Structure 1
């Protein structure tokens, strides 16, 4: 596999999570399994401040502070805000789940932590690794599939080194949170991976490409190289359950999105029926036409999202709070 380094992307936060007991009956941060300062939920950054004296958790996202109360749970540490359903933070081991104002975010991970299952792959020659907990499964062309017990031998903010062994076979997996593009399929991935089998090193990509898309609102700043009308707003937000919503200039739209084997595609969109100035309506038509034909995506050198069609059409967007 030929890989292209496209720069570091902030996908993971700092520090690991330790989970034990119920949030409502714990006496200290260690007892309730509180995360440290910061986690990354896809493209969303959350800062955490556990108030030991009150037992409250202050969660900050994009400048908005949420004060959450402890809530009983069968495992991990669970906190809720509002009516207890619209805003929920729930830490479990090395990861956490987050719902803010009814919006479900991607899995929240600490620095160096990997989602489970974690999947990595490479070509020329083909290989595939699946890591579930401590169980590592390795598949290679012409070789029997191996399932081995693995251990983390190094873990930092810059990634992990994982090793698995049996007699006659030593497997090492080095994972770094750095953008990786599979040049065969064109699909971007959030991690670069090096697989070493008995001293033979192979390059590959890993992680879930959805983490590059979800957790933020993307603001479109260019349609087919022609920019957009001043003061107009065109947005794309990738939600859970493969739903997409946004503003198309005049109206709001909703529909479906899906990652294919080689890229990204959108389903038919439904929208509101407001009427605006002719120029805005024309821009809306251009945007929706390009969106319907999108086949691939990539992340540019400044963190921008670039959607492209087979005919050369394109959309360029920046994160609503992350434009350089």
Structure 2
């Protein structure tokens, strides 16, 4: 069985993709899900930094977009403005988004009373029990703030959607979301969350916290519902399910190596804990991950360097 362990294979294959043209800014920090990628652009190359990796790529002719290549390391980067696509060892990563920008498409929602806003580039729509409304043209601005990014989306003169990049917990399900939202309508402010919860955990490699093993177990979620990692002895892979109700894992497949009793015991405990997971929580500005069974924390991870 062929297992993909991406971050340990960075020296062999790395692929980044996107389209159109390089950003005007010389340095852009992208959030590829939970993985931060810094791109330093110059006229004929881009230097990428993520984790403890630093790789330079040269410009290459492309039918469309800004394409950069490092053939020796089988590495490509092809971006479009504020967005790019990352692929490592044939594994697509979450869409990479300039962290100073909002995604072109996202949803924000709140409870009691329920409201749902879909934003699609320069238009939006509002769904609520009292009636729906469409906004064919919206204006988006970003407020300069030293502690957080805050965007104001003017739906119309008396309606404003404000988004900040603070992690938000849904008031009913407790599910974490990457953005906090406020829908402001005249004198009324309705709170809520925005963005895809999957982006908080996917892309990055997570390392088991306080492991007694010399090489700690890891876990890595991808946006196609695949999951893989190192169990303390073997490599494993499988699929996970993330819904509005929580997080769960399908049966995982692993290689069949024999290791020391300590490693085998740690591996068994990891797999038993993963079978019981019902939800997740993130903290420390997205740098720590807890896998839980309802209110009980089963596994604690930190973002791997």
Is the Cα contact below 8 Å between 2:203 and 2:223 reproduced in 1?
A: no
Is the Cα contact below 8 Å between 2:26 and 2:42 reproduced in 1?
A: no
- Counterpart in the other structure of 1:116: 104
What SS does structure 1 have at the residue aligned with 2:296?
coil
- Counterpart in the other structure of 2:190: 202
- CA-atom RMSD in angstroms: 2.3
Out of 87, 105, 112, the residue aligned to residue 99 of structure 1 is 87
What SS does structure 2 have at the residue aligned with 1:114?
coil
Measure how far apart 1:277 and its partner are.
1.9
Measure how far apart 1:108 and its partner are.
1.9
What SS does structure 2 have at the residue aligned with 1:240?
coil
Measure how far apart 1:313 and its partner are.
5.3
Is the Cα contact below 8 Å between 1:76 and 1:93 reproduced in 2?
A: no
Out of 18, 21, 34, the residue aligned to residue 43 of structure 1 is 34
Q: CA distance change for structure 1 residues 313 and 66 in 2, over 3 Å: closer, same or farther? A: closer
What SS does structure 1 have at the residue aligned with 2:219?
strand
Q: Give the whole-Å Cα distance in 1 for the aligned partners of 2:153 and 2:63.
A: 30
Q: CA distance change for structure 1 residues 297 and 262 in 2, over 3 Å: closer, same or farther? A: same
Q: Give the whole-Å Cα distance in 1 for the aligned partners of 2:143 and 2:76.
A: 28
- Counterpart in the other structure of 2:65: 76
What SS does structure 1 have at the residue aligned with 2:136?
strand
- Counterpart in the other structure of 1:224: none
Is the Cα contact below 8 Å between 1:193 and 1:205 reproduced in 2?
A: yes
Is the Cα contact below 8 Å between 2:28 and 2:40 reproduced in 1?
A: no
Once the two structures are superposed, the pairs formed by residues 141-156 of structure 1 within 5 Å of their partners are 141-156=129-144
Q: Give the whole-Å Cα distance in 1 for the aligned partners of 2:83 and 2:187.
A: 32
Q: Give the whole-Å Cα distance in 1 for the aligned partners of 2:65 and 2:144.
A: 23
Q: Does 1:314 align with 2:304?
A: no
What SS does structure 1 have at the residue aligned with 2:49?
strand
Q: CA distance change for structure 1 residues 95 and 67 in 2, over 3 Å: closer, same or farther? A: same
Q: CA distance change for structure 1 residues 153 and 38 in 2, over 3 Å: closer, same or farther? A: closer
Measure how far apart 1:35 and its partner are.
4.6
Out of 230, 240, 264, the residue aligned to residue 281 of structure 1 is 264
Where do 5+ consecutive residues of structure 2 fail to align?
1-18
Out of 118, 132, 140, the residue aligned to residue 120 of structure 2 is 132
- Counterpart in the other structure of 1:237: 220
Once the two structures are superposed, the pairs formed by residues 137-286 of structure 1 within 5 Å of their partners are 137-156=125-144, 158-165=149-156, 170-221=158-209, 228-286=211-269
What SS does structure 1 have at the residue aligned with 2:138?
strand
Q: Give the whole-Å Cα distance in 2 for the aligned partners of 1:192 and 1:38.
A: 23
Q: Give the whole-Å Cα distance in 1 for the aligned partners of 2:214 and 2:262.
A: 12
What SS does structure 2 have at the residue aligned with 1:38?
strand
Q: Give the whole-Å Cα distance in 2 for the aligned partners of 1:74 and 1:263.
A: 42
TM-score of the aligned structures, taking structure 2 as reference length: 0.84
Q: Give the whole-Å Cα distance in 2 for the aligned partners of 1:314 and 1:290.
A: 6
What SS does structure 1 have at the residue aligned with 2:268?
helix
Q: CA distance change for structure 1 residues 77 and 35 in 2, over 3 Å: closer, same or farther? A: farther
- Counterpart in the other structure of 2:289: 305
TM-score of the aligned structures, taking structure 1 as reference length: 0.80
